[in-house]
Structure 1
Amino acid sequence: DGDVGLPLILSTHTRSQTAAIYVYSQDVQRLRLLLQPIKKVQYISDDFDSIVKHFKRDLKAYEKTANGGFITKYGHSSDMLQLDHYYLMLHWSKFYNIDTSNEGKSLLFETYTNYYVHNKRMRTILQEFNLGIGPNTAIKWYTCEPFISRLLNTAFQTHNYSFLKHVRYFIHCIHLQLRNEHPGFVRNRLHKPIFSIYCGRLITTVEFKRLKMYLNRVILITSFLMGNLDKSKVIQYIDRCEPSENETRVLLKINIDIRIRNTQPYADITHLSNEHNENEILIMFGASFRLMDVIISPYQTLPVCVLELCAERPQLMPPNEREQRWYSIIEPFESKK
Structure 2
Amino acid sequence: MYSQLLKEILLEDEYDEQQKKTLVNFCRDHYAGNNSELKIIDEFEQKYPEPSDIWWYTRECFLYRMVNKALRTQDIEVIMKMGFFIRGLHQHIEQFHSQQIYQRSLIVYRGQGMAQTEFEKIYSNKGGLLAFNSFLSTSIVRDVSSRFAHVARD
TM-score tier, shorter chain, comes to: 0.7 to 0.9
Q: For residue 224 of structure 1, what is the aligned residue in structure 2?
A: 135
Q: How does 1:41-52 map to 2 (within 5 A)?
A: none
- 1:43-72 Cα offsets, whole Å, 9 max, x none, are xxxxxxxxxxxxxxxxxxxxxxxxxxxxxx
Counterpart of 1:94 in structure 2 is: 9
Q: Mark the CA change 1:142 to 1:243 in structure 2 (over 3 Å): closer, same or farther.
A: closer
Structure number with higher relative contact order (C-alpha < 8 Å, ≥ 6 residues apart): 2
Gaps of 5+ in 2: none
| Residues 135 and 177 in structure 1, CA contact (< 8 A), matched pair in contact too | no
- The residue aligned with 2:121 is 210
Q: Which moved more, 1:202-211 or 1:112-121?
A: 112-121
Shift of 1:136: 5.0
1:121 partner SS: helix
Q: Per-residue deviation at 1:123?
A: 1.9
Q: Return the TM-score normalized by structure 2.
A: 0.86
Counterpart in 1 of 2:43? Answer: 128
For the aligned residue pairs, the C-alpha RMSD in angstroms reads 2.2
Deviation at 1:240, TM superposition (A): 4.5
CA distance in 2, matches of 1:177, 1:121: 27
Structure 2 match to 1:181: 96
Partner of 1:266: none
Cα distance in 2 for residues equivalent to 1:113 and 1:200: 30
Which runs of 5 or more residues in structure 1 are unaligned?
A: 1-85, 245-337
What letter matches 2:68 in structure 1? Answer: N
Residue type at the aligned position of 2:113: L
Measured in 1, the distance between the counterparts of 2:152 and 2:46 equals 38
CA deviations 1:230-271 (Å, max 9, x no partner) are 123333x15754836xxxxxxxxxxxxxxxxxxxxxxxxxxx
1:106 aligns with 2:21: yes
2:112–2:152 CA contact under 8 A, matched in 1:
no
Q: Which amino acid aligns with 2:153?
A: P
Letter in 2 for 1:119: N
Task: Give the AA of the match of 1:243.
Answer: R
> Amino acid of the residue matched to residue 87 of structure 2?
H
- Structure 2: how far apart are the matches of 1:112 and 1:96? 22
Q: Partners in 1 of 2:44 and 2:50 — Cα distance?
A: 13
Aligned residues: 154
- Determine which structure has the larger strand proportion and give its number: 1
Q: Which has the larger radius of gyration?
A: 1
What is the CA distance between 1:144 and its match in structure 2? 1.5
Residues 147 and 205 of structure 1, relative CA distance in 2, 3 Å threshold:
same
